[in-house]
């Protein structure tokens, strides 16, 4: 019986990690690097091929900006996010590019937008 429950938990965690990663517009490579694990390990976790240790679940949660409990709870991520605005494909693309920039490049982009008058210089 425990084997079946373990398998269900592995598949559940796989789905939750993938959903969260995709919601954050991160690639497997980006998440693996941020979590300090190998891309192959993340791929095996997301495909339900391996059971993640508690330490790895904590690392993934930290990298995804949530708690380990959030990765293991039953409530569907989609229902939590339903109150958030939906981004267009162009907006998601822009956000993905932004997240791929170094902090220095992000600052330069902000300065350019301020200079163009598209954005104010305040942090509001």
43-102 pLDDT per residue, tens? 999 999 999 999 999 999 999 999 998 888 865 545 555 555 677 888 888 888 888 888
Determine the Cα–Cα distance for residues 60 and 54; give it in Å rounded to an integer: 10
Q: Residue 65: CB partners within 8 Å, gap ≥ 6?
A: 24
Go through the domains of the chain in sequence order and give each one's CATH number: 2-81 (1.10.260.40), 85-124 (no CATH)
pTM over 0.75: no
DSSP class of 16: H
Determine the Cα–Cα distance for residues 5 and 3; give it in Å rounded to an integer: 5
Determine the Cα–Cα distance for residues 30 and 20; give it in Å rounded to an integer: 13
- For the chain, what percent of residues have pLDDT higher than 70? 82
Nearest to 32 by CA among 72, 59, 68: 59
pLDDT(1) > 50: no
């Amino acid at each position: 019986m425990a084997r079946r429950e373990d398998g269900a938990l592995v598949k559940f965690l796989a789905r939750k990690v993938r959903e969260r990663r995709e919601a954050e517009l991160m690639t497997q490579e980006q998440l693996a690097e941020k979590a300090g694990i190998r891309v192959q390990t993340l791929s095996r976790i997301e495909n339900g091929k391996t059971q993640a240790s508690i330490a790895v679940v904590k690392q993934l949660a930290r990298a995804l900006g949530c708690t380990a409990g959030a990765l293991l709870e039953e409530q569907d991520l989609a229902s939590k996010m339903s109150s958030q605005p939906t981004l267009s494909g162009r907006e998601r693309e822009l956000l993905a590019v932004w997240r791929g920039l170094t902090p220095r490049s992000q600052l330069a982009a902000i300065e350019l937008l301020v200079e163009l008058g598209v954005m104010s210089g305040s942090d509001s």
